[in-house]
Amino acid sequence: MKIITQTNPDLNSNSKLVTRFLKKYQIGALLKACNAYKTKGFSVVSVFEYLLSIVFINRSMYMNYVTNHYCPEFKKDTVYRFMNSPKIHWQKFTTLLAAKVTNQSITRLTHESRENVLIIDDTLFERNRSKNVELLSRVFDHVKHRYTKGFRLLTLGWSDGNTFIPVAGSLLSSSNDKNLLNEAKGNLDNRSIAAKRRLQSKRKATTVMIELIKTALKSGISAKYVLFDTWFCSPSSLIAVKKTGIDAIAMAKKTSKVHYFFNGEKKSVKEIYTSCKKRRGRSRYLLSVDASVQKDDVIIPLKLVFVRNRNNRKDYLVLVTTDPTLSEDEVIRIYGKRWGIEVFFKVCKSYLKLTKSFRGLSFDAQTAYVAIVFTRYTVLSIENRFHIDERSIGELFYWACDELADITYQESYQLLVEIMLCAIQDVLRLDDDKVEDLLEKFVQNLPHMIKNNLKCCA
């Protein structure tokens, strides 16, 4: 994100950016709809605005109070009470905000044929130096190939291929007592929001994924497909996504434990690949077959597309979709939009301080901080879409030429002459013969280059 200032931040412009965003999308009303009420003192919106803006000044809240720089009117205990509130439904807030942003500012300005997608993935929410964090667990880090302390942040996002908007996030702990380091806070009513978010943290990621998708679709977010990688791709997950009323495009696992129905037999993707004839030449895909999956009495048709791995020419990747009507090129193109969530994770961790600047201990405070970081990214994503064009001046010149190529140079001259003659005929009341004489004299007095082009066009 180029609009994040690294040095010498302009506090006034950043503050105006956040304030404009809060007013445009009525953040106060959204917070109120999610049980964020003011009990006494300062308004909820003022505290929320301060937490959104603090990332742009390169100082923590503690240093702001110590140095009295960019220090708000309220005390830090007000911020702590706001963050630790168990009544605020932060997951609902980010979902409603994403629905409002996409429907109000993005989908209305794009063509109906554009494929809007939901993207699901998880990342490590590391709390490696913590000891007393609620529901802290041992999580395997697939980058460093070792266990660390923290959570899995399951994230659902929306994208149109150009702009990525985070929809909802869920911090997942561990249901295994061996990996769970701290228990959840007790004495909670199971009907309360605080208890429900703690119960959700111990469920499987595939189960929570379906819950997030259903909530997003119910809130009014429009999308045609759900994209996810091999970690969430299984026959049961594909069927569960299809039941929500939306199709899935995912990368299938190349394992002998997962089978698909192909030609009346249960086969893994490796067996399907070896039993079929591949396309020759430098095609975008090697093989495309129709298959199906079954669970209980539910049978769903699929399409498997085998794509050559760019990093290893001898290897291949397998894309699976629950929409068999899609062409192979469309499956590959749409799945490419999944990369937006990887950029989102990188920006949140490197610039928006997702895991480095937060030291809260309660599970409610951690959930609140995730929602605040998601909102920060939404602010920057909308600003980036409407105020920054990454194409260079030279590229913009050629794009403008292509956009204006619908009408030729000669045709534009003809249109101008016809408009002029119609205006003369209406004002001077000339008959057709005099208008033709006037046109001939006008053409004769034109330069030879323009005259020849007009005659060729005629």
- Calpha distance 444→449 (Å, rounded): 12
Provide the residue ranges of all domains of the chain, joining segments of one domain with +. Answer: 227-326
Q: How confident is the model at residue 59 (pLDDT cuts 50, 70, 90)?
A: confident
235 within 8 A of 243, measured Cβ to Cβ? no
- Render pLDDT for 414-454 as a digit per residue (tens, 0 to 9): 777 777 777 777 777 777 778 788 878 887 887 776 677 66
pLDDT value for 10: 52
Helix, strand or coil for residue 156? strand
pLDDT value for 294: 87
- Render pLDDT for 138-153 as a digit per residue (tens, 0 to 9): 988 887 888 889 899 9
The answer to pTM > 0.75 is yes
Total number of residues shown for the chain:
458
Taking alpha carbons only, the member of 306, 308, 341 closest to residue 321 is 306
pLDDT value for 455: 59
pLDDT value for 392: 47
- Calpha distance 244→206 (Å, rounded): 14
Tell which wins on pLDDT, 277 or 70: 277
- Calpha distance 237→210 (Å, rounded): 8
Q: How confident is the model at residue 263 (pLDDT cuts 50, 70, 90)?
A: confident
Residue type, 97: L
Any idea which residue has 């996504």 for tokens? Answer: 241
pLDDT value for 53: 84
What sign does the dihedral 236-237-243-248 (CA atoms) show? negative
Residues 6+ apart with CB under 8 A from 165: 98, 101, 102, 106, 157, 158, 159, 378, 381
Provide mean pLDDT across the span 39-61: 81
- Render pLDDT for 343-400 as a digit per residue (tens, 0 to 9): 999 999 888 888 777 788 899 999 999 999 999 999 999 888 877 645 445 555 555 5
pLDDT value for 8: 44
Question: How many Cβ atoms from other residues are within 10 Å of residue 455's Cβ?
Answer: 10
At 65, list the tokens. Answer: 């109070």
- Render pLDDT for 217-246 as a digit per residue (tens, 0 to 9): 999 999 999 999 998 999 999 999 999 999
Any idea which residue has 């005659």 for tokens? Answer: 455
Provide mean pLDDT across the span 197-212: 93
Which of 20-24, 48-52, 224-228 is most confident? 224-228
Q: How confident is the model at residue 341 (pLDDT cuts 50, 70, 90)?
A: very high
Q: How confident is the model at residue 168 (pLDDT cuts 50, 70, 90)?
A: very high
CA 87 to chain centre: 27
